[in-house]
A and B are shown apart, each in its own frame.
Chain A
Amino acid sequence: MPPDIESSITPGAIEDERGYLLRYALLQLRNPAQAEDAVQETLLAALEGRERFSGRSSLRTWLTGILKHKIIDHHRRSGRERPLVSADDDRAEADIVDALFADDGHWREFPADWGSPATALENSRFWKAFELCLQRLPERTARVFTMREVMEMSTDDICQELDITTTNCWVMLHRARLTLRECLQLTWFDGQPS
């Protein structure tokens, strides 16, 4: 390893990524203590395995890769202790989507024009609303959604990991997006001057 790369992975440099990793873990695990544990394990593994960092990717990418494994391990362990979903949950989640459409498949309500939603991204109050909406997603739906959008896993990999069919995976991602859309409509866009 070239000396300049080795010296760039100081304990301090690794520690600097803690905030990012914690946010990332919290998005998946939804429990601050568990997220903190996963990050702690990641930082420890990174420090111990420092010489394996090749410098081909950024330090953040490398650490995130380790964290992903920790998160998936965590999901596997908790999945063995407690199944993620019951038939009742599934029915309730399907109802959320069904309620948005009339019997003939049309939108019950005309979806609002969000104008230039990108301006919301610059508003700290928007991020508060966004965070709350993410937290309100049902657990299994949130799991699939964050695997896809935060970890950027393919649906094939997600299906394999969670042992569900691809069709089921698409249905759940659709639910997640519609539910989030609806929540942001109610908690943010409805309150914005159009």
Chain B
Amino acid sequence: MISSCKQTSLLLSQAQDRPLGFADRLRLRVHLVICERCRRVSTHFAFLRTAVQRYRDGG
């Protein structure tokens, strides 16, 4: 079953906080292949992490 973008967004976020299980990784990968929107959000989340750490360490 194809996950919705909302579910995928939550998974993308969780991927930054815990190792995803096999089923979740698969679900995520399948969705990202077909969904450019979520691929973009994935890069945005990665950017946020970099930015917060840079901000903390002095910009």
Q: Which residues of A contact B (CB under 8 A)?
A: 19-20, 23-24, 27, 101, 104-107, 110-114, 117-118, 120-121, 124, 127, 130-131, 134, 148-150, 154-155, 169-171, 173-174, 177-178, 180-181, 184
Contact A181 B14, CB 8 Å, known A107-B5, A150-B52 = no
Count of interface residues, chain B, beta-carbon cutoff 8 Å:
31
Question: Are A170 and B13 in touch, CB under 8 angstroms?
Answer: yes
> With A111-B40, A113-B40, A181-B41 known to touch, is A171 a contact of B5 (CB < 8 Å)?
no
Q: A101-B4, A105-B7 are in contact. List 17 more A-B contacts (CB 8 A).
A: A101-B5, A105-B6, A106-B4, A110-B37, A111-B37, A111-B44, A112-B40, A120-B51, A130-B51, A134-B52, A148-B17, A170-B17, A171-B10, A173-B13, A174-B9, A177-B13, A178-B13
User: A127 to B44, Cβ gap below 8 A?
Assistant: no
Contact B56 A27 (CB under 8 A): yes
The distance in angstroms between the C-alpha atoms of A108 and B50, with both chains bound, is 26
* B58 in contact (CB, < 8 A): yes
The answer to whether A150 and B56 touch (CB under 8 A), given A155-B18, A170-B13, A173-B17, is yes
Which residue of chain A has its CB nearest to the CB of B53?
A149
Q: Is the CB of A181 within 8 A of B48?
A: yes
Q: Output the least CB separation between A114 and chain B (Å).
A: 6
Which residues on A sit within 8 Å (CB–CB) of B18?
Answer: 155, 170
The answer, among B14, B37, B43, for a CB contact under 8 Å with A114, is: B43
CA distance A27 to B40 in the complex (A): 27
Q: Which of A20, A114, A134 contacts B40 (CB 8 A)?
A: A114
Whether the Cβ atoms of B51 and A121 lie closer than 8 Å is yes
